[in-house]
Chains A and B, each alone.
Chain A
Amino acid sequence: MDRRATFKSTWLAFALIAPQLILVFIFFYWPAAQSLFWALTLEAPFGGATQFVGLQNFETVFSDKLYWNSVRVSILFALSSTTLTMVMALLLASFVDRQLAGYRVYRFVYFWPYAIAAPAVGLAFRFIFAPDAGFVSSINKVFPNLWNPALDGLDAFILIVIANSWKMIAYSFIFFLAGLQAIPRTITEAAAMDGAGVLRRLWDLQLPLLAPTFFFLLVINITESFVDSFGIVDIITGGGPARATDLMVFKIYSDGFKGLDYSMAAAQSIVLMVLVVSLTFVQFRYVEKRVHYA
């Protein structure tokens, strides 16, 4: 990258990069540092004397049963919605990759949900799965009270997993499909000449060659389900019932903006940040691994 022909004017280079650096500083690094500051201090951020308390806020957070509940819910949510999303996306992508008649139509429709805002997905699914309206509630006519996400924590959890996966499948689908289509056609043909049928090729060639895409999406999906699920939870369950869907990001929001406990919210933000950062590092490792097949 340094061997390239370049322009000399250094002041211009700084001027060009300055706007982004300023934005990044004001809206990313300062708030992140601020989080850390608040997490280590007590008292409100707007005026009033702040007091350095070390790790006391973290101790409070970690000794809070409600916090561990939200961690447990978040991890379960991340695991189940990532599994559901990736299995469905991989299935659909390998079907579409066969390029049977009309595959363009399928590809087109599978991609739609990506465009829809999380809260809109939330509202739609809240209606479809409502206990007293919509569709799924018909099951209550046969088995009364079998399905009630308003009262049953498990039902509510299943509902946000389905809604989140429905939205996320499209993204993984596109990447799986791109990964499958990047496999050179002649490799598939060579395998056909070697006697491997469609399913055998899927198992022996396409899936192993998708491994890099798979790890990439695994991390992306887990990260997204940690941070991007706010809209869905806020609209469908509001964290309830009985905190059964109180995801970490939702708890930060409600502690910080509803409970106005900035120090607690900041300490939780730091934990979530560490989590996201380490996931991203894991991803980078696989990004590098991915280059190897080329």
Chain B
Amino acid sequence: MADIAISNVTKSYGKTAVIHGVDLAIRDGEFVVILGPSGCGKSTLLRMIAGLEEISGGTIAIAGEAVNEKEPRERGCAMVFQNYALYPHFSVAENIGYALKVAGVAKAERMRRVREVAKSVGLEEYLDRKPSQLSGGQRQRVAMGRAMIREPKVFLFDEPLSNLDAKLRVQMRLEIRKLHQRLGATSVFVTHDQVEAMTLADRIVVMNAGKIEQIGTPSEIYDRPETLFVAGFISSPPMNLLEVTIPVRGEAHAGDIVISTPAFLAGKPGAAAMIGVRPEHLEISAQGRFSLQAEFVEKLGSVQLVHGSFAGRDFILQCPATQPVAAGQRLLFDIPAAAMHAFDPATGARIPKVQPAGRQNEPVAA
């Protein structure tokens, strides 16, 4: 069991820097998901923890010990690769047991542990098969078994579910979570899928363009995105964004539309801001102060999304599937002040709301 301390880590290939000074402390036994779009440097960061990429600057320490100079095999990490990276000429048993074989564990003991691990990932029946004779989900389990058998201090997952079909992905997600609960090993999981991140993580690290945008629990990330990027990346449907100016405190103007913002911004009156509100937090009612003409309606089963434009921007309302809505119809709604997020359009940083007296934490929306 081990904690991981990443301090001021950078990575560059020649002159191109791909990671610019990342700081991250992962607690012992924690399940951390690194989430970001492709090319944001999340896999590179994971591979630097594993020792598969050289660290250009800064330090990475596992269990209090700097590992920059250590070979992958000396770091006590196990990794599950995106394409599983199974040895095609080895049987399932040989794949799982390879690390022990390299370590010189006697054959009988090795087989005993291979069987034990195979049982826990549900592969006892398949020990003699070759990877090419297995289904995608079974290959995934072999990859997990191969990581587990070493009883590593740290589990690293590099988008391990992205090659599976949707149904298997959900199932394997659950299994990975259960595995973590059982073994309690520190785990770092890289993905670009926000649902995976939200369901698996103790804490999510959102990365973009080689930098960490925000670190927090799934609900923190959802409820209080620290940057415009996080606000836009974590949510489906995407958060509605409005460009506004703030002439006086408590009021914001988006074009002709005036939105009231209770004791809103710490920023100076007259400043520009981006206001974001999630479609699911908009209140549709006959008394709504704002209106939106439905351009088209997406039915998603239990809910439906109404697309239109508001204050000159694309805008989405979410409403229960039971409510009859048709394209062309005009809907009235309100924007609850508590559900509003505000960002500085220049830096993308969150603009803090003025704290109501006597409250330490910002009121949570909804």
Task: Determine if chain A interacts with chain B.
Answer: yes
Q: How far is the CB of A250 from chain B (nearest CB, A)?
A: 41
Complex formed: what's the CA distance from A192 to B87 in Å?
12
Complex formed: what's the CA distance from A221 to B69 in Å?
45
Asked if B217 CB lies within 8 Å of chain A CBs, one says: no
Q: How far is the CB of A43 from chain B (nearest CB, A)?
A: 57
Asked if A242 CB lies within 8 Å of chain B CBs, one says: no
Q: How far is the CB of A213 from chain B (nearest CB, A)?
A: 13
Asked if residues B102 and A195 are in contact (CB atoms below 8 Å), the reply is yes
Considering only residues 191-213 of chain A, those with a C-beta below 8 Å from chain B are 191-197, 200, 204-205, 208-209, 211
Partner among A186, A191, A197, A208 whose Cβ is within 8 Å of the Cβ of B98: A191
Asked if A189 CB lies within 8 Å of chain B CBs, one says: yes
Asked if A292 CB lies within 8 Å of chain B CBs, one says: yes
- Chain A residues closer than 8 Å to B271, beta-carbon distance: none
Asked if residues A208 and B146 are in contact (CB atoms below 8 Å), the reply is no
Partner among A190, A196, A292 whose Cβ is within 8 Å of the Cβ of B146: A190
Asked if residues B132 and A186 are in contact (CB atoms below 8 Å), the reply is no
Dominant secondary structure at the A interface: helix
* Given contact pairs A184-B83, A189-B52, A209-B89, A194 touches B146 in the complex (Cβ within 8 A): yes
Complex formed: what's the CA distance from A191 to B98 in Å?
8
Complex formed: what's the CA distance from A184 to B73 in Å?
19
- Chain A residues closer than 8 Å to B79, beta-carbon distance: 189-190, 193
Asked if B99 CB lies within 8 Å of chain A CBs, one says: yes
Q: How far is the CB of B145 from chain A (nearest CB, A)?
A: 12
Q: How far is the CB of A292 from chain B (nearest CB, A)?
A: 7
* Given contact pairs A187-B87, A194-B73, A294 touches B132 in the complex (Cβ within 8 A): yes
Asked if A293 CB lies within 8 Å of chain B CBs, one says: yes
Asked if B190 CB lies within 8 Å of chain A CBs, one says: no
Q: How far is the CB of A277 from chain B (nearest CB, A)?
A: 30
Asked if residues A191 and B87 are in contact (CB atoms below 8 Å), the reply is yes
Complex formed: what's the CA distance from A191 to B85 in Å?
9
Asked if residues B85 and A190 are in contact (CB atoms below 8 Å), the reply is yes
Asked if residues B99 and A194 are in contact (CB atoms below 8 Å), the reply is yes
- Chain A residues closer than 8 Å to B86, beta-carbon distance: 187, 190
- Chain A residues closer than 8 Å to B85, beta-carbon distance: 184, 186-187, 189-190
Asked if residues A190 and B81 are in contact (CB atoms below 8 Å), the reply is yes
Asked if B21 CB lies within 8 Å of chain A CBs, one says: no
Asked if B72 CB lies within 8 Å of chain A CBs, one says: yes
- Chain A residues closer than 8 Å to B78, beta-carbon distance: 193
Name which residue of chain A comes closest to B75, CB basis. A193
Asked if B230 CB lies within 8 Å of chain A CBs, one says: no
Considering only residues 143-160 of chain B, those with a C-beta below 8 Å from chain A are 146, 150
- Chain B residues closer than 8 Å to A209, beta-carbon distance: 88-89
Q: Give the number of chain A interface residues (Cβ < 8 Å).
A: 21
* Given contact pairs A186-B83, A189-B81, A196 touches B89 in the complex (Cβ within 8 A): no
Asked if B351 CB lies within 8 Å of chain A CBs, one says: no
Asked if B77 CB lies within 8 Å of chain A CBs, one says: yes
- Chain B residues closer than 8 Å to A208, beta-carbon distance: 89
Contact with A along B45-89 (1 / 0, CB 8 A): 000001110000000000000000001110001110111011111
Q: How far is the CB of B255 from chain A (nearest CB, A)?
A: 52
Contact with A along B95-124 (1 / 0, CB 8 A): 000110011000000000000000000000
- Chain A residues closer than 8 Å to B88, beta-carbon distance: 187, 209, 293
Complex formed: what's the CA distance from A102 to B115 in Å?
45
Complex formed: what's the CA distance from A223 to B80 in Å?
44
Name which residue of chain B comes closest to A188, CB basis. B85
Considering only residues 123-148 of chain B, those with a C-beta below 8 Å from chain A are 132, 146
Asked if residues A192 and B73 are in contact (CB atoms below 8 Å), the reply is yes
- Chain B residues closer than 8 Å to A205, beta-carbon distance: 87
Contact with B along A162-190 (1 / 0, CB 8 A): 00000000000000000000001011011
Name which residue of chain B comes closest to A201, CB basis. B102
Q: How far is the CB of B39 from chain A (nearest CB, A)?
A: 18
Q: How far is the CB of A197 from chain B (nearest CB, A)?
A: 8
Considering only residues 305-355 of chain B, those with a C-beta below 8 Å from chain A are none
Complex formed: what's the CA distance from A184 to B86 in Å?
10
- Chain B residues closer than 8 Å to A293, beta-carbon distance: 88-89, 132
Complex formed: what's the CA distance from A193 to B89 in Å?
18
Partner among B77, B82, B87, B103 whose Cβ is within 8 Å of the Cβ of A193: B77
Complex formed: what's the CA distance from A159 to B85 in Å?
45
- Chain A residues closer than 8 Å to B71, beta-carbon distance: 192
Complex formed: what's the CA distance from A229 to B23 in Å?
65
- Chain A residues closer than 8 Å to B150, beta-carbon distance: 194
Q: How far is the CB of B154 from chain A (nearest CB, A)?
A: 11
Complex formed: what's the CA distance from A146 to B150 in Å?
59
Name which residue of chain B comes closest to A197, CB basis. B73
List 16 A–B pairs whose Cβ atoms lie within 8 Å, in order of A's numbering. Answer: A184-B83, A187-B88, A189-B50, A189-B85, A190-B81, A192-B51, A193-B72, A193-B73, A194-B146, A196-B98, A204-B87, A204-B98, A204-B102, A208-B89, A209-B88, A292-B132
Which chain A residues have a beta carbon within 8 Å of chain B's beta carbons? 184, 186-187, 189-197, 200, 204-205, 208-209, 211, 292-294
The 7 closest A-B pairs by CB, nearest first: A186-B85, A194-B99, A195-B73, A190-B85, A195-B102, A293-B88, A186-B81
